Amino acid sequence: MWKAVVTHGRGQLLGRTHQLRNYVSRPVAAQINPVTKFSGTGRFVSKKNETLGSAEEATRSNRSISLSQPSPAETSSKPDTAATIFLKNSQTTINVNPTSSNEDASIFIAKTGDVVHFHLDAQRREDDTKIKLDDSSPSKNIQSIEDRMWRKQTLDLQKLPSYYLLLSKSRLTALVVLTTMAGYGIAPGVFNPAAFFFCTVGTAMTSAAANAVNQFYEVPFDAQMNRTKNRVLVKGLISPLHAVGFATFSGIMGLSILMWGVNIVTASLGAFNLYFYTMVYTPMKRMSMVNTWIGSVVGAIPPMMGWAASTGGVEPGAWLLAALMYAWQFPHFNALSWNLRSDYSRGGYRMVAVVDPAMCKRVAFRYCIGLIGLCTLAPVLDVTTWTFAIDSLPLNLYFSYLGWRFYRDGDSNSSRKLFRFSLIHLPALFMLMLISKKNFGEKAKKSVTDDSTSTVQSVT
């Protein structure tokens, strides 16, 4: 027997046939036109008995659906549980091969915002001569649908710390903090444990605030993407007001720590980044592909914050670190977004990979090569010794090779390799800079000289 429930939402056809990740708000009426019985092997077909289209095309259809029994030849050539869903008005089909004879299936139709839930029982029964429509609540097996139905929201206090980590985008915040720490370590200033600690904590809280505001703005769009559909605000695990309160507290505390625990230059850079990320980059993502360049500016600021925390200023070395971070983000993000083009397109985000795929590949390759030149500038600007330029060359050459492969092939394999190596490339580059920082040896020699002088003076 087939059962169907239709609920309203926006999204896409996702997952296995019995798992639909959808974001519903209210029930609506179904328009289903059962025309014949279904048992054993079955398919949805057009009136001309055609099998057309693909699963992606099916999401552009409307509500009108019909069923038809297969021909004997098709029945013998397919498993007993095979089925094809036909969307009549768009003349599109979706082929399904359930792993068991009893399956819960969900079809989301993006154009109309409807979700049709079926229960497939492949065992033939004499009384199952019609497809039955059930307008009751969604099946308990489809947890994502049930979770998004209206209900009184309750907050699980035990899970609140994990919710805050998700709201802060903990992995992205960790990357921001690490690049800030690298900037502090590479800077020529004297190491101050208190300033280093306050810079780290303040940067982390400011980044958490920016990411929380970003998620607050993008809930309707995150709900349509595989990559972001499980975020805490999308799933309703915490309220929007709670998220805004967390962002406000984190932002005020983070900037206060940077102001009073570090210096005004670092706090100003943090405030600029918070504003630029939430008020410029976030809305720009849906307006123009220039958002990638704007977002790279945001990512380039944290090393400057670390440098400013150490020296109190933004010397040429700070700008060099920012330029390195700015350039690195293009191969990193363009490779990441390449395999998420359909996701970004559904969410309405105008990423370079979506709007101009050829430019996406070109830009990634160009900035890979640009990193070689920037690393060569490090000893010229007295940030490192020439050892760094030599040691970083093999790393940058291989990075450029992967960028060239991505530019040439433009497939998921080459983009995945470039993205994964970028995660190794950045920390390795900063580690080489830290080892080869120009004043490291000079400070050691000066310390030995000062100790010797003080010893001689004390003996005298």
Per-residue pLDDT at 54 exceeds 60: no
CA distance 376 to 398: 16
* Kind plus residue range of the DSSP H or E element containing 188: none
DSSP H or E segment with residue 23:
strand 23-27
8 A C-beta contact, residue 374 and residue 328: no
pLDDT for the residue 157:
81
Q: Does 161 share its domain with 233? A: yes
Tens of pLDDT along 412-449? 899 999 999 999 999 999 999 999 987 654 544 444 34
- The confidence score (pLDDT) of residue 21 equals 33
Q: What is the mean pLDDT of residues 122-147?
A: 44
Residue 156: predicted pLDDT: 75
443 is a domain residue: no
Which pLDDT score is estimated for 88? 63
**DSSP readout, 383-406?**
SB-HHHHHHHHHHHHHHHHHHHHH
- Note the pLDDT of residue 53: 39
Provide the number of structural domains found in the chain: 2
Give pLDDT tens digits for 192-248.
999 999 999 999 999 999 999 999 998 888 888 888 888 899 888 888 999 999 999
d(CA 160, CA 7): 30
Residue 301 binned pLDDT confidence (cut-offs 50, 70, 90): very high
Angle between helices 357-380 and 316-338 (to 10 degrees): 160
Tokens representing residue 237 in the block: 């695990």
List the alpha helices (DSSP H) in 218-263. Answer: 219-222, 240-257
pLDDT tens, residue by residue, 155-183: 778 888 999 999 999 999 999 999 999 99
pLDDT (0 to 100) of residue 230:
86
Q: What is the pLDDT confidence band of residue 123, given thresholds at 50, 70 and 90?
A: low
Q: What pLDDT does 41 receive? A: 34
Q: Do 346 and 200 belong to one domain?
A: yes
- Distance between CA atoms of residues 136 and 144, nearest Å: 16
- As to burial, measured by CB atoms within 10 angstroms (0-12 exposed, 13-18 middle, 19+ buried), residue 375 is buried
Q: Convert the pLDDT of each residue in 61-96 to its tens digit.
A: 433 344 444 444 444 444 444 566 666 666 666 666
The Cβ of residue 445 has, within 10 Å, a number of other Cβ atoms equal to 9
pLDDT value at residue 98 = 62
In a domain, 460, yes or no: no
The C-alpha atoms of residue 349 and residue 232 are separated, in whole angstroms, by 20
Same domain for 326 and 407, yes or no, is: yes
What's the pLDDT score for residue 247? 95
CATH number for the domain that contains residue 211: 1.10.357.140
Task: Kindly report whether the global pTM for this prediction surpasses the value 0.85.
Answer: no
Q: Who's near 245: CB < 8 A, 6+ residues apart?
A: none
Both 142 and 164 in one domain: the answer is no
**Residue span of the structural domain in which 324 resides:** 157-438
Whether residue 305 lies inside any domain: the answer is yes
Specify the pLDDT at position 228: 86
How many Å apart are CA 87 and CA 60, to the nearest integer? Answer: 10
Judge whether 120 and 78 are in contact, CB under 8 Å. Answer: no
Decide if 208 contacts 330 (C-beta within 8 A): no
The total of other beta-carbon atoms located within 10 Å of residue 231's CB is 18
Query: According to the model, what pLDDT value does residue 346 have?
Result: 84
Q: Give the chain's mean pLDDT.
A: 75
pLDDT exceeding 70 applies to what percent of the chain? 62
CA–CA separation, 53 vs 295, rounded Å? 37
Return all residues near 328 (Cβ < 8 A) that are at least 6 apart: 367, 371, 422, 425, 426, 429
**Interval 35-60 mean pLDDT:** 37
pLDDT at 296 over 90: yes
Q: What are phi and psi of 251, to 5 degrees?
A: -65, -45
Least confident of 107-116, 209-218, 280-289, 327-336: 107-116
Nearest residue to 332 via CA among 291, 302, 363, 376: 363
- Determine the pLDDT at residue 223: 85
Q: What is the pLDDT of residue 111?
A: 63
Gap between the Cα atoms of 366 and 400, Å rounded: 8
Q: Is the pLDDT at 142 greater than 80, yes or no?
A: no
pLDDT value of position 149 = 54
Instruction: Give 27's strand partners.
Output: 7
Whether 219 and 95 map to the same domain: the answer is no
> 372 and 254, same structural domain?
yes
Domain boundary among 148, 182, 202: 148
Question: Do residues 221 and 281 make contact, with C-beta atoms less than 8 angstroms apart?
Answer: no
Is residue 26 a part of any domain in this protein?
yes
Q: 164 and 113 in one domain?
A: no
